Amino acid sequence: MSNRDATAEANATSCATFVDEWVQLGLADAVVCPGSRSTPMAVALASDPRIRVHVHHDERSGSFMALGLGRATGRPALVLTTSGTAAVQLHAAVVEADLDHVPLLVVTADRPPRLRGVGAPQTIDQVGLYGGSVRWALDAPLPTDVEPSHWRTVAREAWGAALGTDPGPVHLNLPFDEPLLGVPSKLPPALAPFLAEQEPAVALHAELLSAIATRSGVIVAGTRIDDPDAVLSLAARLGWPVLADPRSGCRVPHPNVIAHADGLLRADALELPVTAVLRFGSLPASKIVNQWLAKLEVPHIHCDPTSAIDDPDQSVSLRVTNSASALVGAISLGLGDNRDNRDDGWLRKWRDADDAFEMALVNELQTFDVPTEPGSARAVLAAMPADSMLVVSSSMPIRDIEWFGETREGVTVHCNRGANGIDGVVSTAVGVALAGKSTALLIGDVAFLHDTNGLLGLGRRDVDLCIVVINNDGGGIFSFLPQATTLDGERFEQLFGTPHGVDLAALAHAHGLPVLTANDDDAVGVAVQAAFVAGGVHIVMAVTNRSDNVLIHDQLQRSGLEAARNAGWN
């Protein structure tokens, strides 16, 4: 066999071995971004019928699509690029996957070592490209330099690092020499079955038991909760309110669940006899809630299954690195049959205030005959079918869902809140939808424009996805910041309002996607429902005004808080 034939065979065999091992470990989806140097891995992925291959022209959007698949399924998806700046385009998604603990397999093709640093075309330094944002990284040797069985071990190590006790992105940099097309030889035998790490037992610290024994604590439910029902059962037993983030899985109709904590905690001179905080997962998006938590000088227990700190105010007094279900189970055993001293008045105070706030929102929003951003967010959430996914963009959409959204069952909410950016939001939603459930995306116009390449080929993908664009012609969130009142109007618009003047409907039509325009909040909900009945991909446009939006938010917060005070909130 000639050297060229041996190289081609080694390339094909190494990649086929990687793919076979990953499939046995659970890989089901791969996003392939076209390129030449990545040919051996692209062919291996496409040749395995056990893998769904999603081709994307844009590496940045493709990486976020893989991120969305990882969010929705809980297992790594693979994103593949060729060499050069293509690999750089993945960095934002890698950072998000790192900070929000989303498993992701990043595979970049590279030139062979002899062509690095000598001016070869489409060659950059890809070694350690993503720095400390990856759980594990390897600049692999050339396939001709190692035994084929080596690749199974490498594949397993990459998978274990991506999906271990601290999930996140891994980076495998694969150099290939030419020729890039070959036929794989017989694959090396499979390894022994993969054994996942066992979760450590929960240590019932005295501080934890002492905090749970108090009568007026609060539970803050963030992300990464493996068993929301267990958390709610504990709350019912303790008689504590649950301040439930939309992404927690706990924001459902339940006597202990509080949906409008942000609005309630805006009350001036509010004094609540809080005795303990039990927090699960990441912090809420609400600055108001986080500022309130930071001021409490009480035991603050934080439970998270990953290494996440999530404590910028350094208010956590005890960290428990376990799943929510494990901690709840340990607490229940620790309490035994002795926990029956709930302060029902404590929970009733929160319940009455939250219910009054919700009713005020309903009544106030009925007075508007144009789309409002809070009302549109509520309409989208209410229109979602059972067992569906809602992806919410950062900036105002996630806040509108958190501040004004109702409790409801059957909807899983996703949001890129690791780095809190607007990168790749459309593509993330496409990835979530590819997991197979009806999906909606609530997004602002700037975030939509930031990732319009997420629309590439979208009409041909087998997904049910409704994209609701809140179009206020600029950066709406900045109107809530001091810059809006400190700078003169022209300078504010130049630097922060940033009107773009793009015809978003025409842009969607250029991608062959149908567009519905909603004239009020109810029409938004009707359009979303119609989109899911029809199936496929639809875009709903709701045009709002940035200045009016600030006034509407203030009006809703005032009305809700006034109603809560009338119900005994002080």
Residue 391: which region, alpha, beta or left (left: phi > 0; alpha: psi -120 to 50)? beta
Greater confidence (268 vs 438) lies with 438
Give percent above pLDDT 70 in the chain.
99
In 3D space, the residue among 328, 348, 96 whose CA is nearest the CA of residue 216 turns out to be 348
DSSP 427-459: HHHHHHHHTSS-EEEEEEHHHHHHTGGGGTTGG
The neighbour count for residue 203, using CB atoms within 10 Å, is: 9
In degrees rounded to 5, what are phi and psi of residue 133? -80, -5
Domains of the chain in start order, with CATH, are 3-175 (3.40.50.970), 206-353 (3.40.50.1220), 371-543 (3.40.50.970)
Decide: helix, strand or coil at residue 392: strand
> By three-state DSSP, how is residue 14 classified?
helix
Asked if pLDDT for residue 339 goes beyond 70, the answer is no
**Pairing verdict, β 29-32 and 52-55:** parallel
Structural tokens at position 354:
């939250």
Highest mean pLDDT among 67-71, 149-153, 482-486: 67-71
Distances (CA, A) of 253 to 204, 406, 517: 30, 9, 31
Question: pLDDT tens for residues 130-144?
Answer: 999 999 999 999 999
Residue 455: φ, ψ to 5°: -85, -10
The pLDDT tens digits of the residues spanning 401-446 come to 999 999 999 999 999 999 988 999 999 999 999 999 999 999 999 9
pLDDT tens for each residue of 532-561: 999 999 999 999 999 899 999 999 999 999
Residue 373 is predicted with a pLDDT of: 96
**pLDDT band per the 50, 70, 90 thresholds, residue 214:** confident
Helix, strand, or coil here: 413? Answer: strand
Q: Are 474 and 547 in contact (CB under 8 A)?
A: no
pLDDT surpassing 80 at residue 196: no
Sheet containing strand 29-32, strands side by side = 52-55, 29-32, 77-81, 104-110, 169-175, 136-139
Rounded to an integer, the average pLDDT of 15-40 is: 97
pLDDT of residue 24: 95
Residue 338 has pLDDT above 60, yes or no: no
Q: How is residue 526 written in tokens?
A: 């009707």
| Burial status of residue 444 (CB atoms within 10 A of its CB: 0-12, 13-18, 19 or more) | buried
How many Cα atoms occupy the beta-carbon half-sphere of 495 within 13 Å? 10
What average pLDDT does the segment 324-336 reach?
88
> In this predicted structure, what is the pLDDT of residue 119?
81
For 367, other C-beta atoms within 10 Å of its C-beta total 9
Question: Which of the 8 DSSP states describes residue 53?
Answer: E
Position 341 scores a pLDDT of 60
Q: Does residue 228 have a pLDDT over 80?
A: yes
Give the whole-number percent of the chain exceeding pLDDT 90: 80
Higher pLDDT, residue 392 or 481:
392
165: its two tokens: 């006790």
HSE value, Cβ hemisphere, 13 Å, CA-based, for 402 = 27
Q: Output the six-digit token pair for 446.
A: 């700037």
CA neighbours within 13 Å on the CB side: how many for 338?
Answer: 9
Rounded to two decimals, the pTM is: 0.95
**How do beta strands 29-32 and 77-81 pair?**
parallel
| Cα atoms in the 13 Å half-sphere on the side-chain side of 131 | 6
The conformation of residue 256, written as its DSSP 8-state character, comes to: T
DSSP letter string over 119-162?
Answer: T-TT----TTTTGGGSSEEEEPPPGGGS-THHHHHHHHHHHHHH
**What local confidence, expressed as pLDDT, does residue 340 receive?**
55
Which phi and psi (to 5°) does residue 441 adopt? Answer: -120, 125
Q: How far apart are CA 305 and CA 165, in angstroms?
A: 7
Model confidence at 84, pLDDT cuts 50, 70, 90, reads very high
Tokens 């271990």 — which residue?
Answer: 164
